[in-house]
Structure 1
Amino acid sequence: MNNGATVMEGPVTTVNRLDQNAASLSAEITWFAGVVNARLSEYFNKETADDNPADTTAPDLSNDRSVYAEFVNYYHLSRDERLLLMLTLIPHVQPHLLDIFFSINKASGRGHTEFGGIKGTRHSGFLPTIETALFLLAGNDLAHRFRLYKLFEPEHIFSGHQIITIDPAPGNEPFYSSPVSISEEYVDFFTTGQFRKPNFSMEFPARRLSTSLNWTDLVVDDYTAQQLDELRIWVQHGATLYESWGMSKKLKPGYKALFHGPPGTGKTLTAALLGKLYNLEVYRVDLSMVVSKYIGETEKNLEKVFKKAENKNWILFFDEADALFGKRTSISDSHDKYANQEIAYLLQRLEDYRGLVILASNMRNNVDEAFTRRLQAIIHFQAPRTRERLRLWNNAFSKQCQPPRPDELERIAQQYELSGGSIMNVVQYASLMALNRNDSHILVDDLLQGIRKEFKKEGKTI
C-alpha cells in the first residue's frame, strides 16, 4: 500500500421508500470513508496534509426516516459515536472498506501498531479493535484519545444495551487491543429494520416458546387465576410503574415468579400465554446445555442467555428449575464451595434482570430459600379438581369430531383424576383411534383405554 493511498468510498444509492435504510447507511459510509481518507492523509503526510478529519461534515439525519437515522436521533449520538458505530457495522455490509488498515509499515515490515485490528478465523477482512477506533477518531491527539475512553465504559449506551460488544484482550495485553463488534441484532435492525431472533445453539441455549391457545383456554383454580392476574398486570404496567411513577429508585428491577405443581398443570402454557398476550418473546432455557459439571461453566453458559436478553424485555422461563436453583449444600469439599458460588452468581443475575423471570418446579421445597426470598410471586398450579377437569375435557376435542355426551364426560371428569397434559394425551389417543376407523365419533371406550395408558405411566390402575 502506497503512502497516502485512499479507501474506496461507498456507493450512492437512489432513495426510495423501500431503500431508505440502504440510502441512509450509504451516505454514512461515504462520510466514514472521507474521515478515514483524511486521517490516513494526515498520518502518512504529517507535514503536507491539508485534510483535517474533524472538518469532514457528517450527513444531516434530522429529516431522515430510516431506522438508522431514527436510532441516531433518538440517542442524540455524537460525531464520534456515529463513527464508532459505522466502524463496527462496515465489516458486515462493506468489509472491503477496511482493507486499507492492512497496509505494511515499511520501517518495521509489519502492520501499523496504531491501526490496531485483527484478522478473523473465517472472515478474511480487517476486524477493528478499540485501538482502531481511537486512531480513527483521535489520531495522535492524546487529550482527545483520553476523552474517547468513555465510549467503551460499561455504562455507555453501546455497552449497556449490548449494541457494541468488547472481547477483552487476554492476559496482560492492553485493554484497548480488544476487538469491538456490533451485535447481530443491530446489524439486522439497521439494514432490514427487524431484530433477528437468536438461533438455539451452544451460544444461546434457549428455545423460543409459543402457543396457538389463548388466555381464556387456560384452566386453573380460582386462587391461581387471581395470582396469575396480578402477574399479568405487572407485565402490562410494570414499565409505567418504574418509569412514569419513578419507582425504579425504590424497587428492584424486573419481576421473578415461581410456578410449582405437578406436571401437566399449565406452568409452561402460562409462560407462553403471557408472552402472546403482550407480544413479548418467551424463551425456555435448556438446562441440559447450561448446567455443567465443570467449575465456572454453568455461569458462563447462563451469562450467554442473560446478555442476549438484556434490554429486550424477554420473558425467561426456567423449566425444572431445581437443577439450577436447588438447595445449597453444606461445604464439605471444594466442589460444594463452587456450587454455592454458582448460586450466589444466579442470585445476583436474577436481581439485575429487568424483565420477567419464571422458575418452574414440581416441588416448591426443592428451590433454595435464598431464591424464594427474592421472588415477587409463588404460584401453585395444583392438580385440577372435578370442575376444572370437566372444563378441560369440554375444551379438548376438535370441532371436526363428535365427542361423547356431556353426561359421559362429566362422569369421566368426576371419576378419573388427570392433569391437563394427561387429558390431552387421552384425547389424542381416542381421536387417532376414531380416524383409524374413518369415523368422527369419539368412543368412551377409547377414552377409557387412553386413561389406562396414562395411569400406567404413573404406576396406577383404573
Structure 2
Amino acid sequence: MVNLHNDNAHCIQLELEWLQQILKARSIQNAKPGTGPSDLLEIPAPDLEGIDAPFVELVKKYDLGPEHRFLLIMAAVPHIRPQLLDMFMSRNQQTQQIYTEFGVKKGKRASGILPTGETVMFILAGGDLVKRFKYQSLFEEESILFREKILSMGEVDPEESFLSGTLLIQPEILDIMTTGRKRNPRFGNDFPAHPLRTNLDWEDLILPHDTMQQLRELESWLRNKDFLMENWGMKRILKPGYKALFYGPPGTGKTLTAALLGKKMDLDVYRIDLSRMISKYIGETEKNLSKVFDKAEHQGWILFFDEADALFGKRTAVNDAHDRYANQEVSYLLQRIEEYDGLVILATNLKSNLDDAFMRRFQSTIFFPVPNPEERYQLWKNGFPIQAKLEEKIDLKELANSYELSGGAIINVVQHSLLMALDRPERRVHREDIQEGIRREFQKVGRTI
C-alpha cells in the first residue's frame, strides 16, 4: 500500500511540474509575445510508462491525451497544491481587480484561487482566437472528461459565458489522484442514498428455481455488458443499462438479493428509499434524484429503489398543479433511469400498485413469492446457529408445513426465540418461544395462529 501511495504521488508530482512549466511559458509569452512554443501543449507531458499507479490506470482507461491531462491537473490543483495558482492573484494597477483575462474565481470560504474554463483558455490560447476556438471543444459534453462525468462546470448566470464556470473535479476521481483509491460517498444532502451490504452468502438465499434463473440473467448482464455492447455492437440497438423490477410480499428476499448481487459481482449497491426522497416542494424531488444519478453515472453501481410505488403508483388525471408536478417527477426519474448505464432495480410489495405504462420499461420483472413448505424448512434450518440447543419437541419440518411465513418473518421468530433462550441458565430454545414469535409475526399482518 505504501508503494502504491508513493508511485501515485510521484505521478502527480510529475504532472504538477509539467503544469508549472506551462504556466511559466504562458507568463513569458505574456511579457514577450512570440517567445517559446507556439502551442504550450507542445511542452511534453510526463512519460508515465512503466509506473504502476492508480493515476496511470486512469489515464490509460480513458486514453487521455496531453490536453485532457492538463485539464485534469488544473481541476485538481486547488485540492492538491493551491499555491500554484497564486500567480493569478496579481491585480491590475488601474482597476485594482484581478485581471479579467485570468478568469479565476476566489473560493467562498478559503482565500485560494479556483480555475474556470476561462482560466484554461487564457493559459492555452492567450489572445489567439484560433487556439481558443480549438480548445473550447475540451468543454463540450462529448469530450471524454465531461462525458464520463470526471469533470464538470460550476453553475453560472444565464447571461454569462459557460466558460466562466468553475472547473470541478469529481470527488471519486480526486481520491484516485491523491490516495489512490475511491471513497464511497457518504449519506447526506449531497447523496441521499445508503450503501447496501450483507454478511450472508448466495447459499443463504432460498428462492424458487424460476426466480433464481431470472437472477442469473442479471448476473450475466453485469458480467458481460461491456462485451455485449462494444464487441458485439449492441450499443447501437440497446439502451444503456439494465432495469429490473423485484416484486412480492415483504420479507421474501428482494433487498437481500440486491445486496448479494453486488457482493458476488464486487459492485457497490446503493439503496434509495423513494418514499423519503419525495418532497412536497416543487423541484426538490428532481434535485434529490439528480444528486444520486450524477454521483452514480459510470461508476458501475447497482441502484436499488425501494418502495417504488411511492413514485410509480397508478396515475390519475391531471386536475391541479400538484398532479402536474407529480407527473414531472415521474418523467424525470424515468429519464434518468433510462439513461443510467448500470443496473437499476426497483422493488415493490405489490406489482398491481404500479402503472401498467411503466412495466414496458423493465427488461425483467422478477417475482419473489412467499416460500413453499420445503423452502420454509430450509429457512428454519439455516436460521438457527449450530450452537443453539432446541427442545426435542421442536419439529422444524412441522413448523414449515404449518405456518406460511416469509423468510424475513422466520428470521424475526428465530431472533426472538434465541433471545429468550439466552436469558435461561440452560440456554435452550423452547417451542413456546417459537410459537410466541410466530403469533407476533401473524399479528403484524392481521392474522391469528
Change (3 A) 1:449 1:173: same
| 1:198–1:204 CA contact under 8 A, matched in 2 | yes
Alignment partners' CA distance in 1, 2:328 and 2:336: 12
Alignment partners' CA distance in 2, 1:237 and 1:287: 29
SS of match in other structure, 1:303: helix
Quick check: 1:452 aligned with 2:439? yes
SS of match in other structure, 2:376: helix
SS of match in other structure, 2:76: helix
| 2:275–2:310 CA contact under 8 A, matched in 1 | no
Which amino acid letter does the alignment assign opposite residue 39 of structure 1?
R
Quick check: 1:141 aligned with 2:128? yes
Quick check: 1:194 aligned with 2:181? yes
Alignment of 1:157-196 (within 5 A): 157-196=144-183
Partner of 2:426: 439
Alignment of 1:271-310 (within 5 A): 271-310=258-297
SS of match in other structure, 1:351: helix
Quick check: 1:20 aligned with 2:20? no
Alignment partners' CA distance in 1, 2:85 and 2:425: 66
Quick check: 1:59 aligned with 2:46? yes
Quick check: 1:369 aligned with 2:340? no
Which amino acid letter does the alignment assign opposite residue 84 of structure 2?
L
Question: Which among 142, 150, 154 is matched to residue 137 of structure 2?
Answer: 150
Provide the TM-score with structure 1 as the length reference. 0.92
| 1:62–1:73 CA contact under 8 A, matched in 2 | no
Which amino acid letter does the alignment assign opposite residue 17 of structure 2?
T
Instruction: Spell out structure 1 runs of 4+ moving beyond 4 A.
Output: 15-18, 47-52, 404-407
Quick check: 1:412 aligned with 2:399? yes
| 1:281–1:314 CA contact under 8 A, matched in 2 | yes
Quick check: 1:100 aligned with 2:80? no
Partner of 1:422: 409
| 2:244–2:363 CA contact under 8 A, matched in 1 | yes
SS of match in other structure, 2:441: helix
Partner of 2:200: 213
SS of match in other structure, 1:357: strand
| 1:383–1:419 CA contact under 8 A, matched in 2 | yes
Mean alpha-carbon deviation: is it higher for 436-445 or for 274-283?
Answer: 436-445
SS of match in other structure, 1:111: coil
Alignment partners' CA distance in 1, 2:3 and 2:353: 59
- 1:427 to partner: Cα distance: 0.6
- 1:17 to partner: Cα distance: 6.0
Alignment partners' CA distance in 1, 2:371 and 2:437: 18
Alignment partners' CA distance in 1, 2:392 and 2:231: 54
SS of match in other structure, 1:146: helix
- 1:459 to partner: Cα distance: 2.2
Alignment partners' CA distance in 1, 2:205 and 2:3: 47
Alignment partners' CA distance in 1, 2:435 and 2:229: 52
SS of match in other structure, 2:246: strand
| 1:325–1:343 CA contact under 8 A, matched in 2 | yes
Change (3 A) 1:197 1:326: same
Deviations 1:84-143 (A, max 9, x none): 111111111111111221111112211111111212222321111110111111111110
Change (3 A) 1:137 1:48: closer
Partner of 1:269: 256
Alignment partners' CA distance in 1, 2:104 and 2:219: 48
Mean alpha-carbon deviation: is it higher for 253-262 or for 52-61?
Answer: 52-61
Change (3 A) 1:54 1:283: closer
Alignment partners' CA distance in 1, 2:15 and 2:288: 37
- 1:329 to partner: Cα distance: 2.0
Which amino acid letter does the alignment assign opposite residue 343 of structure 2?
L
Alignment of 1:339-358 (within 5 A): 339-358=326-345
Alignment partners' CA distance in 2, 1:55 and 1:270: 53
Deviations 1:247-269 (A, max 9, x none): 11111221111111111010000
Which amino acid letter does the alignment assign opposite residue 279 of structure 1?
D
Identity %: 50
Alignment partners' CA distance in 1, 2:172 and 2:60: 19
Alignment partners' CA distance in 2, 1:274 and 1:17: 29
- 1:237 to partner: Cα distance: 2.4
Change (3 A) 1:275 1:133: same
Change (3 A) 1:76 1:234: closer
Quick check: 1:75 aligned with 2:62? yes
| 1:42–1:51 CA contact under 8 A, matched in 2 | no
SS of match in other structure, 1:132: helix
Mean alpha-carbon deviation: is it higher for 254-263 or for 433-442?
Answer: 433-442
Mean alpha-carbon deviation: is it higher for 165-174 or for 311-320?
Answer: 165-174
| 1:258–1:358 CA contact under 8 A, matched in 2 | yes
Alignment partners' CA distance in 1, 2:403 and 2:310: 32
Consecutive unaligned residues in structure 1, runs of 5 or more: 1-14
Alignment partners' CA distance in 2, 1:228 and 1:24: 42
Alignment partners' CA distance in 1, 2:114 and 2:315: 44
- 1:54 to partner: Cα distance: 4.7
| 2:151–2:168 CA contact under 8 A, matched in 1 | yes
| 1:80–1:137 CA contact under 8 A, matched in 2 | no
| 1:202–1:289 CA contact under 8 A, matched in 2 | no
Change (3 A) 1:406 1:270: farther
Alignment partners' CA distance in 2, 1:140 and 1:51: 15
Change (3 A) 1:374 1:48: closer
| 2:275–2:311 CA contact under 8 A, matched in 1 | no
| 1:120–1:127 CA contact under 8 A, matched in 2 | yes
Question: Which among 96, 106, 109 is matched to residue 119 of structure 1?
Answer: 106
Deviations 1:235-294 (A, max 9, x none): 222332222222111112211111111110100000001111111111001324421112
Alignment partners' CA distance in 1, 2:215 and 2:4: 44
Alignment partners' CA distance in 1, 2:275 and 2:87: 45
Which amino acid letter does the alignment assign opposite residue 219 of structure 1?
I
- 1:406 to partner: Cα distance: 8.8
| 2:54–2:181 CA contact under 8 A, matched in 1 | no
| 2:41–2:66 CA contact under 8 A, matched in 1 | no
